[in-house]
Chain A
Amino acid sequence: MEPAGPPAAPARVVLRRLAVRDFRNLQRVELAVPPDGLTVVGENGHGKTNLLESVYYLELLRSVRGARDADLVRFGAPGFHVAAEVDLPGEHRVASRAVGVGFERAGKRKRVRIDGAEVPRLSDALGALPSVIFSPGDVVLVAGSPSERRRYLDVALALTSRRYLAALQAYRGALVRRNAALRDAARTGRGEERATVWEPALAEHGAVLWTERRAWVRRHAGAFAALCAAIGERAPMRLRYATALEVDGEDSVEGARAALGAALAAKRPLDLRRGLTHAGPHRDDLDLALGGRELRLFGSAGQQRTAAIALRMLEAATLRDHVGSAPLFLLDDPFAELDARRAHAILALLGDAGLGQVLLVVPRASDVPEELTRLPRASIRDGVLDA
């Protein structure tokens, strides 16, 4: 008989080492992260959110806060660099991976290396450090404009579906070109054909976005309602994909492509007048409702926060399904504006789903929820981490 190996560790992504140079106010951070995670305590404005933003940069290869790369470089520095050593549990064994991203302000150049080798296309490195970030700013997912919710869907799906990512890039490319051609047609009064030639690409790639988004929402609508109820919401919460596109019969990419092609043609006269494309998934939304009323307009602050956290939990579940292990949880003082009962409920839910490694940042030690007091602590002050 073979000797029994060591007991299997819970399957989760583990950030082992982090090295940050000149990212926002972080001049130099070298950190060995314990397997369960770490709590970083620091007053607002001292760099704790920047620390999480730098870690999440390795996942998204851009700022989670939507900042331009040049604005992420520490004042006076020529560029920034973020690197990590990560353990990714595979089917048979844990694979270690070294990920590094550097940005140079002068050449506006971004370089990603995985295990030392430069990645030729940035999109190949997307999702290198499977992680999900929770922060009080997430309330814009519910209270903000439709573009926030589309961005949420695009990130969750692009990180877990190569097909979606490729379609998203092609769709955006075709959209800006059609809009430019529409404006040119309006200005010069020359034929509309110059705009219509972009429509097959919009229909082809838009159909992939539409069907994948619809399928994702269908798969997760029940879980969304259940999560909101478990966090403490009494009225039923509903998640729907809001779209103007109507497809006959069952959802299919082919059906959506035909419907989208027809919708683009139908809206073309309006598009030509306004110089903008009015039909397509770039106009769709996630419809969040509480007892039939739109949460964005009628929800209380607490209800909106609950829904936002439930959305992040769905994102974590989507990543977990894709990677096969729990992602890294980046918690940016996420319970600040929630009552203790809801905070406990959320942590219990995260624990049930198999909480991964946690990087928690809070302004004061007293803000650490009871469930996470076991984590080792570090502190941050003026961008300097004291571990």
Chain B
Amino acid sequence: MSAIDDLAGELSKLPGIGRKTALRLTYFLLKQRPEQSRRLADALTTLAERVRPCAECFNLTEEERCSVCRDQRRDRGVICAVEEASDIGAIERTGEYRGLYHVLGGRLSPLDGVMPEDLTIDRLIARVRGGEVREVILATNPSLEGEATALYVQRQLSGQADGVAVTRIARGLPVGGDLEYADGVTIAQALSARREM
């Protein structure tokens, strides 16, 4: 296999990149100055060698523990459990949350063979048993599988530590969305999660 085929083959394994795009990217890189390709290669190597899961919460980090876990100003009494490390960025951007995280590493998906033991649920239970935690917020996606995962985690946590509240993020209409264009399921959920004003 030639070097061109090698790179195109690797690129086409990336999400959203087909064979044609992979070849186009490969020829684009060939036309650039060699330093450009070297910088890309270095960045990829660094990524693979340095980035790893946080020993405490499984967020991605280049240290032993991630920047959130190391931040002494964060509230160590609250843990927000998410499916993927990429979900943390979305919550951090709001600037509203000051607690810690726990990355479950996916969601229950029996059709893909993803069972509870494939997620980091045991580690979450161990953290909660540690004694410092007052609340666990389950922030898995509001999908069929995300809901089942939240329910599973909630049931595993109940009875593990007294006085720990387990909460679920609310589902509902997106802000800036138009009621007219929301789908029926979302409207029904928003209605059932309504609150007094």
Chain A interface (Cβ < 8 Å from any Cβ of B): 162-163, 166, 170, 173-174, 176-178, 180-181, 184, 188, 190, 193-194, 197-198, 200-201
Contact = CB atoms under 8 A, between A and B. Distances in A.
Given A180-B111, A184-B115, A200 B151 contact: yes
Contacts of A193: 116, 152, 155-156
Nearest to A200: B151
Contacts, number: 51
A222 B148 CA distance: 41
B111 A177 contact: yes
Contacts of B115: 181, 184, 188, 190, 194
Interface residues of B, number: 20
Given A173-B144, A194-B116, A201-B144, 13 more contacts: A162-B184, A163-B188, A166-B183, A166-B184, A177-B111, A177-B144, A180-B110, A181-B108, A184-B115, A197-B108, A197-B148, A197-B149, A198-B148
A177 B155 contact: no
Contact of A181 (B110, B117, B144, B155): B110
Contacts of B151: 197, 200
B14 interface: no
Contact of B108 (A166, A173, A194, A200): A194
Interface of B: 108-111, 115-117, 144-145, 147-149, 151-152, 155-156, 183-185, 188
B107 to A, nearest CB: 11
Contact of A197 (B111, B155, B183): B155
A190 B156 CA distance: 14
A188 B116 CA distance: 12
A177 B148 contact: yes
B144 A174 contact: yes
Contacts of A170: 144, 185
B110 A177 contact: yes
A174 B183 CA distance: 20
Contacts of A190: 115, 117
Nearest to B155: A193
A173 B144 CA distance: 8
Contacts of A177: 108-111, 144-145, 148
A92 B126 CA distance: 65
28 contacts: A162-B184, A163-B184, A166-B183, A166-B184, A166-B185, A170-B185, A173-B144, A174-B144, A174-B148, A176-B111, A177-B109, A177-B111, A177-B145, A177-B148, A180-B111, A181-B115, A184-B115, A193-B152, A194-B108, A194-B110, A194-B116, A194-B152, A197-B148, A197-B149, A197-B151, A197-B155, A200-B151, A201-B147
A200 B154 CA distance: 14
Contacts of B145: 177
A180 B113 CA distance: 8
Nearest to B151: A197
Contacts of A201: 144, 147-148
B152 A197 contact: yes
Nearest to B148: A197
B186 to A, nearest CB: 10
A194 B145 CA distance: 12
A115 B149 CA distance: 40
B134 to A, nearest CB: 25
A184 B184 contact: no
Contacts of A173: 144
A173 B111 CA distance: 10
Contacts of A194: 108, 110, 115-116, 152
Interface-centre pick from B109, B144, B147, B183 (highest chain A CB count, 10 A): B144
Nearest to A178: B110
A304 B9 CA distance: 59
Contacts of B156: 193
Nearest to A167: B185
A200 B115 CA distance: 18
B73 to A, nearest CB: 36
Contacts of B111: 176-177, 180
A176 B147 CA distance: 15
Nearest to A179: B110
A256 to B, nearest CB: 16
Contacts of A184: 110, 115
Contacts of B144: 170, 173-174, 177, 201
B75 to A, nearest CB: 29
Question: Which 5 pairs show the lowest CB-CB distances between chains A and B?
Answer: A180-B110, A181-B110, A197-B148, A197-B151, A197-B152
A180 B115 CA distance: 10
B153 to A, nearest CB: 9
Nearest to B109: A177
Interface-centre pick from A163, A193, A198, A201 (highest chain B CB count, 10 A): A198
Nearest to A201: B144
Contacts of A180: 110-111
Contacts of B116: 193-194
B125 to A, nearest CB: 13
A207 to B, nearest CB: 13
A198 B156 CA distance: 15
Nearest to A181: B110
A200 B155 CA distance: 13
Contacts of B185: 166, 170
Contacts of A162: 184
